[in-house]
Amino acid sequence: MREKAMRFMNKKILPVKEADLDKNVAFDPKDCDYIVVLNSDCLPLKILSLSENFDIKKCSPITSFRIIGEHDSIDIKNYNGEFFLVNGNRGEIKGVITYKEIISFMLNSIKSIKNELDLVKTDLEAFMACSDDLACITDGSGSKVRISSSCEKLYGVKPESLIGKNVKDLEKNGMYFPSATRMVIEEKKPVTVTQKTKTGRKLLVTATPVFDEQGGIKRVVSISKDITDEEKLKTELKQTKELLQKYEKELLSLRIAHIKNSEIIYRSRAMEKLMETVNKVAAVESTVLIYGETGVGKEVLAKYIHNISDRSNGPFVKINCGAIPENLLEAELFGYEKGAFTGARSEGKPGLFEVADKGTLLLDEVSELPLPLQVKLLRVLQEKEFIRVGGIKTIKVDVRIIAASNKDLKELVKDGKFRQDLYYRLNVVPITVPPLRERPEDIPILAHHFLNLFNEKYGRSKQLTNEVIEAFMRYSWPGNVRELENVIERLVVISEDNYITKKDLPVELLNGEETNKSEGVYVSEIMPLKKASALVEYQLIKRAIEKGGSTYKAAEILGVDQSTIIRKLKKFESKLL
């Protein structure tokens, strides 16, 4: 088991030059845990542990240590107790790793795992108790591990009396026949049987194996439905299959969410169905084309697909095809050799396809890709190779492509603005993200998510009142999730009280409909004229980006250079807000 050094290191250290050790200095353990003694060249000589003695002259020195980088890995399984000094990028000592730090990390990890297991146990017990169906879990040999309370009704015995009993013995004793779990263990595949119990009940039992990494059966999960009434057999069978499918989907969703720790916020059925498709496509290498209006979260979804895919350890690289001038876009995508054109770097430059090798490349606003570049992109998709600008050498790459667009590429193909062959290459798995107005159930949960985010960012403790949430629900959100995020950030920054009320909302939200954004902008409070002018300019830029979909288009709308838009955004977001 390998972990990055930075996960273990104790940052409470104090570098002290050897020449300063003779000074009568007592150190407060709150200030540091370790002292790193440096020679005149600032190289580490030894480590002093203040946990032994707070007097530096009485500390026993540790001279046997190894210097590693903060991103180096440590094999915990084979850790031999040696000391490590952790080096930063500039050569400065950033921390110390000892047996104490390793143990502390492991204890915290165990505590975290225990909390997760406690939650899983609670969920499992709730599931086992909430249904009239009999749910049973056995180990790989057929011994019962868990069984729901409905077994008393169906088998005539209390559940605790069956824990640890083997299904083969229960079958021999006439508790029931046949045992679906026994059949699963023998056949190593799911089994559905009609079972008779000693109490005269007739059960429809579906048992499913759970395999370990070596292909052995680790658990068998069975669900038994009482079908004593033969007329209900067909209905009960259908419900059992649907129930199993639902559990499989829920378990898959939970597994992905916990393992990858992704942050996709939703509650609506529309997004739930979309995420079912996303989770399936993430497991394969198919090209994905994400459609959606500006601000719905296409980039977030693309990053999620990357994070739960087998390429999650590789790079995730994105490029907005509409934000880069056409004459520079080819060099950005495919790189260039030295001297390829005026102003090129003398050493050349790799393109984003090379940077994204073994990972994922998001082509945002792919509809803005010029036709000549579409031909070169098509070759990369087909042959997995390309040539740099000004080069002659073919470069092989292994990149998964995710494209995103707020325009219908099929319509652009009809208008001759997009290549048909490239369209079919990209349109392998199309996914359409619904706009926020079509999934209002997601608005409250997203609003509170962004509120917590910006409260933490700006050190605030603002709260949304019910009247504000109601106004959010009535609004059409033409800018979608991005507009909601911007509104929440604005409210956290400019509202006077901790409780955000209707008086703090922009006028279009109060009216429950979008105002004509071309008619002007608004300032929601009295402020110095200089700050108000800056805020108005900031709002204009943000609205132009929402309308155009990129800083490049926003610059066209506002009649300025793209560099001006980017510079002002950075200035406003760092100083004004």
Rounded Cα distance between 98 and 8, Å, is: 9
Rounded Cα distance between 33 and 49, Å, is: 6
Among residues 244, 242, 198, the alpha carbon closest in space to that of 222 is found at 244
Task: Flag whether pLDDT at 259 surpasses 50.
Answer: no
Q: Could you tell me which residues are beta bridge partners of residue 220?
A: 138, 209
| Beta strand extents in 29-157 (DSSP E only) | 34-38, 44-49, 61-62, 65-69, 73-75, 83-87, 93-97, 134-139, 144-147
Report which secondary-structure segment, H or E, holds 224: strand 217-226
Q: pLDDT digit string (tens) for 69-122?
A: 777 777 776 666 666 666 776 767 778 887 777 778 778 777 777 777 666 666
Q: Could you tell me which residues are beta bridge partners of residue 176?
A: 197
Rounded Cα distance between 196 and 226, Å, is: 10
CA distance to 160, 197, 479, per residue, from 157 (Å): 9, 12, 60
Buried b (16+ CB within 10 A) or exposed e, 42-58: eebebbbbbeeeeebee
Return the higher-pLDDT residue of 326 and 281.
281
CA distance to 17, 52, 64, 101, per residue, from 46 (Å): 11, 15, 7, 18
- In this structure, what DSSP letter does residue 166 have? B
In this prediction, residue 278 carries a pLDDT of 92
Task: Flag whether pLDDT at 514 surpasses 50.
Answer: no
pLDDT class of 141 with cuts at 50, 70, 90: very high
As a whole number, mean pLDDT of residues 311-332 equals 87
CB contact set of 366 (below 8 Å; sequence gap of 6+) = 289, 321, 403, 404, 405, 409, 426
Looking up tokens 């033969």, which residue turns up?
Answer: 230
For residue 9, is it left (φ>0), alpha (ψ between -120 and 50) or beta?
beta
In this prediction, residue 162 carries a pLDDT of 87
CA 75 to chain centre: 26
In this prediction, residue 55 carries a pLDDT of 64
Task: Flag whether pLDDT at 234 surpasses 80.
Answer: no
Q: Please, where are the H alpha helices in 366-498?
A: 371-383, 409-414, 420-426, 442-458, 466-474, 480-494
pLDDT class of 524 with cuts at 50, 70, 90: very low
CA 532 to chain centre: 37
In this prediction, residue 518 carries a pLDDT of 40
Model's pTM, two decimal places? 0.47
Q: pLDDT digit string (tens) for 534-552?
A: 777 777 887 787 777 777 7
In this prediction, residue 423 carries a pLDDT of 93
Rounded Cα distance between 515 and 184, Å, is: 63
Q: How many CA atoms lie within 13 A of 1 on its CB side?
A: 5
Rounded Cα distance between 64 and 72, Å, is: 19
- In this structure, what DSSP letter does residue 572 have? I
pLDDT class of 576 with cuts at 50, 70, 90: very low
Cβ contact 502:468 at 8 Å: yes
Q: pLDDT digit string (tens) for 143-179?
A: 988 888 888 888 888 888 888 999 999 999 888 899 9
Return the higher-pLDDT residue of 323 and 519.
323
- In this structure, what DSSP letter does residue 475 have? S
Task: Flag whether pLDDT at 260 surpasses 70.
Answer: no
Task: Flag whether pLDDT at 525 surpasses 70.
Answer: no
In this prediction, residue 290 carries a pLDDT of 95
Cβ contact 469:321 at 8 Å: no
Q: pLDDT digit string (tens) for 443-471?
A: 999 999 999 999 999 999 999 998 898 88
Return the higher-pLDDT residue of 514 and 505.
505
Rounded Cα distance between 520 and 539, Å, is: 10
Report which secondary-structure segment, H or E, holds 354: helix 352-355
Task: Flag whether pLDDT at 247 surpasses 80.
Answer: no
CA distance to 201, 312, 352, 405, 470, per residue, from 504 (Å): 64, 41, 43, 34, 14
pLDDT averaged over the chain? 81
Return the higher-pLDDT residue of 220 and 228.
220
Q: pLDDT digit string (tens) for 168-211?
A: 999 998 888 999 999 999 999 999 998 888 888 888 899 999 99
Rounded Cα distance between 538 and 473, Å, is: 26
Neighbours of 545 (CB within 10 A): 24
Rounded Cα distance between 93 and 368, Å, is: 48
| Maximum C-alpha span of the chain | 93
Domains annotated on the chain, with CATH = 2-105 (3.10.580.10), 131-247 (3.30.450.20), 269-428 (3.40.50.300), 436-576 (1.10.8.60)
Is 427 buried (19+), middle (13-18) or exposed (0-12) by CB count in 10 A?
middle
In this prediction, residue 126 carries a pLDDT of 59
Lowest mean pLDDT among 245-254, 379-388, 395-404, 505-514: 245-254
The fraction of the chain above a pLDDT of 90, given in percent, is 30
In this prediction, residue 217 carries a pLDDT of 92
- In this structure, what DSSP letter does residue 58 have? G
Q: pLDDT digit string (tens) for 3-17?
A: 776 777 777 888 888
Give percent helix, percent strand, percent coil of the chain, each to the nearest 5: 45, 20, 35
Cβ contact 388:379 at 8 Å: no
Highest mean pLDDT among 38-47, 85-94, 215-224, 324-333: 215-224
- In this structure, what DSSP letter does residue 299 have? H
Q: pLDDT digit string (tens) for 348-406?
A: 788 899 899 999 999 999 998 998 889 888 988 888 888 888 888 889 999 999 999 99
